[in-house]
Amino acid sequence: MEDIDNIEEDECGFSRNYFLAKELGGASKRSAHKLSDIHIVDEQELRETASNIQMKHADEISELMGDYKTMYPKWVFELRCGFGLLMYGFGSKKALIEDFASASLTDYSVVVINGYLPSVNLKQVLLALAELLSELLKCRRKSSGSLSKAQETFPSRSIDDILSFLHDPQSEDKDCFICVVVHNIDGPALRDPESQQTLARLASCSHIRIVASIDHVNAPLLWDKKMVHTQFNWLWHHVPTFAPYNVEGVFFPLVLAQGSTAQTAKTAAIVLQSLTPNAQNVFKILAEYQLSHPDDDGMPTDDLYSASRERFFVSSQVTLNSHLTEFKDHELVKTKRNSDGQECLNIPLSSDALRQLLLDLNQ
Burial letters 115-140, b for 16+ CB under 10 A, else e: bbbeebebebbbbbbbbebbebbeee
End-to-end CA distance of the chain: 77
Check whether residue 193 and residue 270 sit in a common domain. no
Task: Give the pLDDT score at 18.
Answer: 59
Dump pLDDT digits (tens) for 319-363. 898 888 888 877 788 888 887 888 899 988 888 888 888 888 887
Supply the CATH number for residue 329's domain. 1.10.10.10
- Number of domain units in the chain: 2
Q: How far is CA 274 from CA 42, 279, 326, in A?
A: 25, 10, 11
Q: Please tell me whether residue 126 adopts helix, strand or coil conformation.
A: helix
| Domain assignment of residue 312, yes or no | yes
Dump pLDDT digits (tens) for 226-255. 999 999 999 999 999 999 888 887 776 554
The residue out of 172, 204, 238 marking a domain boundary is 238
- Are 112 and 181 spatial neighbours (Cβ–Cβ below 8 Å)? yes
Check whether residue 211 and residue 63 sit in a common domain. yes
Which residue segment(s) compose the domain that 304 sits in? 256-361
Positive or negative: CA dihedral 111, 83, 161, 189: negative
Supply the CATH number for residue 192's domain. 3.40.50.300
Q: What is the dihedral of CA 305, 306, 312, 318, to 10 degrees?
A: 30
| Domain assignment of residue 5, yes or no | no
> Is the model's pLDDT at 261 over the cut of 60?
no
Q: How far is CA 277 from CA 55, 314, 323, in A?
A: 30, 11, 11
Nearest to 127 by CA among 99, 157, 147, 104: 157
